[in-house]
Amino acid sequence: MEIWQVTAREAIRDLVTRYNANGDTGRFARVRELFVDDAVMTIQGVPHRGIEAIMAVFTGTTESTPGLAHVRHFVATHQIDLIDEEHATGRAYFAVLTDVGLDHWGRYVDEYRRVDGRWLFASRAVTLDGQVPESLFPRTV
């Protein structure tokens, strides 16, 4: 494995971690920095095109879950496929804990792009595999 591949994989893992850590704590300005301007985030088959539409997903979720004390995303089985020094794809499972315990779970399927030396999300598809009846999030999460 070449050094650029090791560096790329670690940077992409860090990107995914920062997405969840910043989103979970409401630091949406930092989440914004993790996407290319023309990124697409597809949630349950519904695409949100461009950074403004993606950010509206985060603020809309916050508004629809008032009083939520905590949310914690856990990512597992993160597979990264490097295409070249500027492009990669990935997929991972996630589980989310909230005030009710295990709240919902699913999969991420990502495309990453390196821009000005930083790996960013070019696209992220979020698929919900299940959620508990007491889930604090709307079914469209």
Query: Domains of the chain (ranges plus CATH)?
Result: 3-131 (3.10.450.50)
Strand locations in the chain (E): 35-43, 46-49, 72-82, 87-98, 101-115, 118-131
More confident residue, 70 or 93: 93
Q: Is the pLDDT of residue 141 over 50?
A: no
Helix (H, G, I), strand (E, B) or coil at 32: helix
More confident residue, 28 or 65: 28
Please write the tens of the pLDDT for every residue from 126-137: 999 999 998 887
Please write the tens of the pLDDT for every residue from 31-76: 999 999 999 999 999 999 999 999 998 887 655 555 667 899 999 9
Please write the tens of the pLDDT for every residue from 95-139: 999 989 999 999 999 999 999 999 999 999 999 999 999 888 766
**How many CA atoms, within 13 angstroms, populate the side-chain half-sphere of residue 133?**
0
The β-bridge relationship of strands 35-43 and 46-49 is: antiparallel
More confident residue, 103 or 140: 103
Q: What pTM does this model have? A: 0.91
